[in-house]
Chain A
Amino acid sequence: MSGPAGTLKIRDPGPVTTVQDAGRLTARRWGVPVAGTLVPDWLFLANALVGNGEEAAGLEFWLTGPRFTVETDAVLLAVGGPAEMKVEGAEGARSVPPWTATRAERGDKVGVGRVGSGTTAVLAVSGGIDTRPVLGSRATYTRAALGGLDGRALRPGDDLPLGTQGSAEPLALGDPPIDQDDPIRVVLGPQDDHFQPEALEAFLNGQYTVTDMVDRMGMRLDGPALAHRVPELAQIASDGSVPGAVQVPGNGQPIVLLADAQTVGGYPKIATVISADLPRLARLAPGEMVRFVAVGVSEAEEHYRRKIASLRALMKQAKPTWLASGLDLRCLYAANLISGMVDMTRPDHFPGNVS
């Protein structure tokens, strides 16, 4: 189905939907935040299910997904995260579960539903969302109107340009990734020495609740207050910061910085959430509980390498959607057209024919 790229016409973007990729990693020197998706692991998987490389941009949505019309001959779509997708076409409507790529045709109306647990999920589109890269990334950073579609969240009527369509088959994950309930792992520092020993103990043994003060920039937690050694140490001469840094202002309540975090900050950072666990924390909903546990830097690096390896391993087990779902004849026909190996109109060509 190689062909000219088209668009997705947004009918209803949902509460907040932005174009995001893995983020803008090399312009922090100029004060430009990373941005990028809060759930890079899920975008990686959803991209792979529609045949995209890991650098492709998709749509990240908060609470509810977008509704749009397909304005190109055919695209593959896959939701990364706990949200159903409905596709209404000439042949009726169908529901598509999460972690399952499906083919949608020109004129099909697609609606991505509510995020079942947590707050954030992603939609990958074959060819990727092809807005103009800015400083090496398509990630939307709304505060400075950078990247994405005019640097802002999507609006009704927007036309989202798509990249060139390849010939990938839609894939589905047999076993969707499951977030464990384990404590969130952190590396202590850079300013752990600004806190009383009891504060470090409270941070690592206490339980924190995600408050409703959460956006792409940061997540305020509520729990045992973390006292600085002296009040003056509640502020520092700004130094470098990262998504995952746990900063603690004077009131002692931690704030975990997320994708849109500023590149430098003036509050002491007691610890930094490790890369392998940050997406799991970032998608928690207000009211959910968090515990922290400390690990060393080299251990954290190893967890990150293992996480990347496990995502790749998970994709190795992905199956063509028609095989995984069994009953999706529409996908079955489409797969046949591509492969040319079997022809559904001739029963003798159907491998494993049991009739």
Chain B
Amino acid sequence: MPRFLSLGDRAFTVEFAPDINAKARVAVTRLDTAIAATREDGGLEAVIDVVPTFRSLTVHYDPLVAGRAEIEAAIATLTDSPENAPAPELGLWTFPVLYGGEGGPDLPRLAEAAGITEARAIDLHASTEVEVYMLGFQPGFAFMGDIDAALRQPRLTEPRIRVPAGSVAVADRLTAVYPWESPGGWHLIGRSPIRFFDAAQTRPSLLSPSDRVTFEPVAAKRYAEIEAALQAGELQSESFRRTA
């Protein structure tokens, strides 16, 4: 049974595990799907948003519609029979990345720490299929994992003041692409031209929790072509969806 943790008077967190593990992630995904299905059928009307994470799920609600006790009881019944939940729709993606160089200043150091060549490090990062564990930190910022063990390094002790938008980064077991310029403590290994967040869409984030992602190393010339095509609208971020 999960723990129900208080997060004020308009949210609570359903915690399946104190740390990141595969079993908890499956439970989170199942409950997330079950809640979505219930809301689609007109249930849980006080619930206004649901935020899944690595190991838990935060339910945001409107206390003017219903109180925590009532919502928690309804959600507890969903955790009792998660196997009834329909399987979530999986998005599969392959995103082009220009590894190293100006956009990936930490690649040489990361390869050296692992005792492998940069080419090998690129290959390990690109070919390992990662799962979207959660969105957060920034709009559309997807925490993805697990990356290959050889590439795992703790985050920088001194975060960079400015990480450019589009930076492909790794930290510990995770990888991500920064959708926005911001400060950041992850290791930068490359750059992607994809637009991961578009506020004009009803589902503004390109990636959803549980989506599966691989990367494709591209050369500078190809990168420039893709970037130009995206900017001209000849290519959509959606085009990088792949079929099984």
Q: Which residues of A contact B (CB under 8 A)?
A: 25-33, 134-135, 141, 143-144, 146, 187-191, 236-242, 244-245, 262-264, 269, 272-275, 297-298, 300-301, 303-305, 308
Contacts and interface: CB of A to CB of B under 8 A. Distances in A.
A144 B182 CA distance: 9
A272 B8 CA distance: 5
Interface in B161-182: 179-180, 182
Given A143-B180, A239-B15, A264-B53, A25 B8 contact: no
A263 B8 contact: no
Contact of B139 (A32, A241, A303, A305): A32
A345 B108 CA distance: 85
A263 B199 contact: no
Contacts of A141: 139
Interface residues of B, number: 47
Given A31-B139, A189-B7, A190-B6, A238 B54 contact: yes
A29 B51 contact: yes
Interface of B: 5-13, 15, 18-20, 48-58, 60, 63-64, 67-69, 134-141, 143, 179-180, 182, 197, 199, 203-205
Rank and list the top 4 A-B pairs by shortest CB-CB distance, nearest first: A240-B58, A272-B8, A264-B136, A190-B5
26 contacts: A25-B48, A26-B48, A28-B51, A30-B203, A30-B204, A31-B136, A135-B199, A141-B139, A143-B138, A144-B179, A187-B7, A189-B7, A238-B54, A239-B13, A239-B54, A240-B57, A245-B8, A269-B7, A272-B8, A275-B9, A297-B68, A297-B69, A300-B8, A304-B63, A305-B63, A305-B64
Contacts of B10: 242, 275, 304
A242 B48 CA distance: 13
A354 to B, nearest CB: 47
A131 B141 CA distance: 26
Contacts of A305: 63-64
A30 B55 contact: no
A40 to B, nearest CB: 12
A27 B204 contact: yes
Contacts of A191: 5
A238 B8 CA distance: 17
A301 B9 contact: yes
A237 B55 contact: yes
Given A27-B204, A263-B135, 18 more contacts: A30-B135, A32-B139, A32-B204, A190-B6, A190-B7, A191-B5, A237-B19, A239-B55, A240-B57, A242-B8, A242-B60, A245-B7, A272-B8, A273-B8, A274-B9, A297-B9, A298-B69, A300-B9
Contact of B51 (A146, A245, A264): A264
Contact of B58 (A236, A239, A298, A308): A239
Given A146-B199, A240-B58, A190 B13 contact: yes
A131 to B, nearest CB: 13
Nearest to B67: A301
Contacts of A29: 49-52, 135
Contacts of B138: 31, 143-144, 262
Given A30-B204, A146-B139, A275-B8, A25 B49 contact: yes
A297 B67 CA distance: 9
A303 B139 CA distance: 31
A279 to B, nearest CB: 14
